[in-house]
Structure 1
Amino acid sequence: MRKQFLFLTVAAVVSAQGFAADWDAAYTKAKTALGKLSQNDRLAIVSGIGWGKGPCAGNTGAATSIGFRSLCLQDGPLGVRGASSVTAFPPGVQAASTWDRALMRDRGKGIGQQSKALGVNVILGPVAGPLGKIPNGGRNWEGFGSDPYLCGVAMEQTVGGIQEGGAQACAKHYIGNEQEKERDTVNSVIDDRTLHELYLWPFAEAVRANVASIMCSYNKVGVKNSQVSQGRLDDMVTRILASWYLTKQDSGYPATAINQNTNNGGPNVQGNGATNAKLVAHAITTRAKKSGTTITTSTSDSTSAGASAAQNAEIAIVFITADSGEGYITVETNAGDRNNLEAWHSGADLVKAVAAINKNTIVVIHSVGPIILESFVDLGNVKAIVWAGLPGQESGNALVEILWGDASPSGKLPYTIAKQQRDYGTNLQSGTDSFSEGLFIDYRYLDKNNIAPRFEFGFGLCPATGNIVPGGISSLFDIVATVTMTLSNSGAVSGAEVAQLYLGFPSSAPSTPVRQLRGFQKTLVAGGASTTVKFELRRKDLSYWDASGKRWVLPAGNFKVEVGASSKDLRLSGSIVVT
Structure 2
Amino acid sequence: MNSYSIPRFTMVLAGVLMGCLAMAAPDQPPVSAEKADERAGALLAKMTTEQKLELISGHNQFFIKGFPELGIPQLYMSDATQGVHIRPQLSNQLEKSVAFPAPIALAASWNPDLAYAYAKAVGEECRAGDVAVLLGPGMNIYRVSQCGRNFEYFGEDPYLIARMVERYVRGMQDTGTMATLKHFVANNTDHRRRTSNSIVDERTLHEIYLPGFKAGIDAGALAVMTSYNQVNGEWAGQSRAVITDLLRGQLGFKGLVMSDWTSVWDAEKIIKSGQDLEMPGKANIVKDAARLLAEGKVAMADVDRMARSILRTCIALGLHDRPVKDERFLAKFADHESVALQSAREGVVLLKNNGVLPLAPKGTGKILATGTFMEKLPRGGGSADVLGYNAVLLKQAIAETYGERVTFVAEPTDEQLKAADVVLLSTGTLDKEGADRPFALAKADEARVQRAVSLNPRTVVIVNSGGGIQMTDWNEQAAAVVYGWYPGQVGNRALVEVIAGLTNPSGRLPITIERRFKDSPGYGYVPAGEDVGKGLKRGEEMAKPVYPIEYKEGVFVGYRWYEAKKIAPLYAFGAGLSYTTYAYGQPVIAKANAKRGEAVTVTCTVHNTGKVAGAEVVQLYVRPAKAPVPRPEKELKGFAKIPLAPGEVKTVTFTLNPRDFAYWDVARHDWSVAPGRYQVLVGGASDRIAGEASVTLE
- Scaled by the length of structure 1, the TM-score of the pair is 0.86
Pick from 59, 67, 70: which aligns with 2:71? 67
Q: Is the 8 A contact 2:127 2:325 kept in 1?
A: no
* d(CA) in 1 for partners of 2:631, 2:688: 20
SS of the aligned residue for 2:398 comes to: helix
Q: For the structure 1 residues 277 and 112, does the alpha-carbon distance in structure 2 shift closer, same or farther, using more than 3 Å as the test? A: closer
Q: Deviations over 1:90-138 (max 9, x none)?
A: 1210110000111111111111111111110111111122x11111111
* d(CA) in 2 for partners of 1:101, 1:464: 24
Q: Is the 8 A contact 1:506 1:556 kept in 2?
A: no
SS of the aligned residue for 2:82 comes to: coil
* d(CA) in 1 for partners of 2:596, 2:133: 33
Moved over 6 A (4+): 9-15, 272-278
Q: CA RMSD of the aligned region, Å?
A: 2.8
Equivalent residue runs for 1:134-533 within 5 Å:
134-221=144-231, 222-223=233-234, 225=269, 226=272, 228-255=298-325, 270-271=379-380, 279-289=393-403, 293-299=404-410, 302=411, 305=412, 307-327=414-434, 336-338=435-437, 340-344=438-442, 346-379=444-477, 382-427=478-523, 428-430=525-527, 431-461=547-577, 463-471=582-590, 480-533=599-652
Q: Is the 8 A contact 1:128 1:144 kept in 2?
A: yes
* d(CA) in 1 for partners of 2:459, 2:391: 19
SS of the aligned residue for 1:356 comes to: helix
Q: For the structure 1 residues 548 and 46, does the alpha-carbon distance in structure 2 shift closer, same or farther, using more than 3 Å as the test? A: same
Q: For the structure 1 residues 495 and 175, does the alpha-carbon distance in structure 2 shift closer, same or farther, using more than 3 Å as the test? A: same
Amino acid paired to 1:117: A
Q: Which position in structure 2 is the counterpart of 1:29? A: 36
Q: Deviations over 1:361-399 (max 9, x none)?
A: 1111001111111111111xx221111111111122111
Q: Which position in structure 2 is the counterpart of 1:116? A: 127
* d(CA) in 1 for partners of 2:639, 2:134: 28
* d(CA) in 1 for partners of 2:109, 2:115: 8
Amino acid paired to 2:85: R
* d(CA) in 2 for partners of 1:399, 1:231: 55
* d(CA) in 1 for partners of 2:128, 2:633: 47
Q: For the structure 1 residues 509 and 84, does the alpha-carbon distance in structure 2 shift closer, same or farther, using more than 3 Å as the test? A: farther
1:460, distance to aligned residue in structure 2 (A): 2.1
1:18, distance to aligned residue in structure 2 (A): 8.6
* d(CA) in 2 for partners of 1:72, 1:397: 33
1:34, distance to aligned residue in structure 2 (A): 2.3
Q: Is the 8 A contact 2:156 2:558 kept in 1?
A: yes
* d(CA) in 1 for partners of 2:602, 2:324: 46
Q: Which moved further from structure 2: 26-35 or 82-91?
A: 26-35
Query: Percent identity at matched positions?
Result: 30
Which runs of 5 or more structure 1 residues have no equivalent in the other structure? 1-5, 52-57, 258-265, 328-335
Amino acid paired to 1:279: L
Q: For the structure 1 residues 306 and 101, does the alpha-carbon distance in structure 2 shift closer, same or farther, using more than 3 Å as the test? A: farther
* d(CA) in 1 for partners of 2:213, 2:25: 13
Q: Is the 8 A contact 1:19 1:163 kept in 2?
A: no
1:517, distance to aligned residue in structure 2 (A): 0.7
Q: Is the 8 A contact 1:314 1:360 kept in 2?
A: yes
1:229, distance to aligned residue in structure 2 (A): 3.5
* d(CA) in 1 for partners of 2:55, 2:575: 47
Q: Is the 8 A contact 1:18 1:210 kept in 2?
A: no
* d(CA) in 2 for partners of 1:17, 1:371: 40
Amino acid paired to 2:429: A
* d(CA) in 2 for partners of 1:214, 1:383: 45
Q: Which moved further from structure 2: 540-549 or 63-72?
A: 63-72
Amino acid paired to 1:97: A
Q: Is the 8 A contact 2:31 2:315 kept in 1?
A: no
1:348, distance to aligned residue in structure 2 (A): 3.0
Q: Is the 8 A contact 1:94 1:390 kept in 2?
A: yes
Q: Is the 8 A contact 1:68 1:250 kept in 2?
A: yes
1:438, distance to aligned residue in structure 2 (A): 0.3
Q: Deviations over 1:464-496 (max 9, x none)?
A: 4123232465798xx711111111101121101
Q: Which position in structure 2 is the counterpart of 1:565? A: 684
How many residue pairs match? The answer is: 537
* d(CA) in 2 for partners of 1:500, 1:374: 26
Q: Which moved further from structure 2: 520-529 or 345-354?
A: 345-354
Q: For the structure 1 residues 15 and 323, does the alpha-carbon distance in structure 2 shift closer, same or farther, using more than 3 Å as the test? A: farther
1:278, distance to aligned residue in structure 2 (A): 6.2
Q: For the structure 1 residues 24 and 117, does the alpha-carbon distance in structure 2 shift closer, same or farther, using more than 3 Å as the test? A: closer
Q: Which position in structure 1 is the counterpart of 2:255? A: none
1:255, distance to aligned residue in structure 2 (A): 4.3
Amino acid paired to 1:157: R
1:253, distance to aligned residue in structure 2 (A): 2.2
SS of the aligned residue for 1:565 comes to: strand
1:537, distance to aligned residue in structure 2 (A): 1.5
SS of the aligned residue for 2:216 comes to: helix
* d(CA) in 2 for partners of 1:402, 1:505: 38
Q: Deviations over 1:436-484 (max 9, x none)?
A: 11011111111001111111000024614123232465798xx711111
Q: For the structure 1 residues 66 and 506, does the alpha-carbon distance in structure 2 shift closer, same or farther, using more than 3 Å as the test? A: farther
SS of the aligned residue for 1:103 comes to: helix
1:285, distance to aligned residue in structure 2 (A): 1.3
Q: For the structure 1 residues 98 and 116, does the alpha-carbon distance in structure 2 shift closer, same or farther, using more than 3 Å as the test? A: same
Q: For the structure 1 residues 508 and 307, does the alpha-carbon distance in structure 2 shift closer, same or farther, using more than 3 Å as the test? A: same
* d(CA) in 2 for partners of 1:429, 1:228: 38
Q: For the structure 1 residues 399 and 157, does the alpha-carbon distance in structure 2 shift closer, same or farther, using more than 3 Å as the test? A: same
Q: Which moved further from structure 2: 557-566 or 217-226?
A: 217-226
Q: For the structure 1 residues 32 and 254, does the alpha-carbon distance in structure 2 shift closer, same or farther, using more than 3 Å as the test? A: closer
SS of the aligned residue for 1:571 comes to: strand
Amino acid paired to 1:337: D
Q: Deviations over 1:408-434 (max 9, x none)?
A: 000000111111111112133441112
Equivalent residue runs for 1:9-20 within 5 Å:
16=23, 19-20=26-27
Amino acid paired to 2:322: G
* d(CA) in 2 for partners of 1:316, 1:147: 34
Q: For the structure 1 residues 150 and 523, does the alpha-carbon distance in structure 2 shift closer, same or farther, using more than 3 Å as the test? A: same
Q: Is the 8 A contact 1:18 1:159 kept in 2?
A: no
Amino acid paired to 2:379: Q
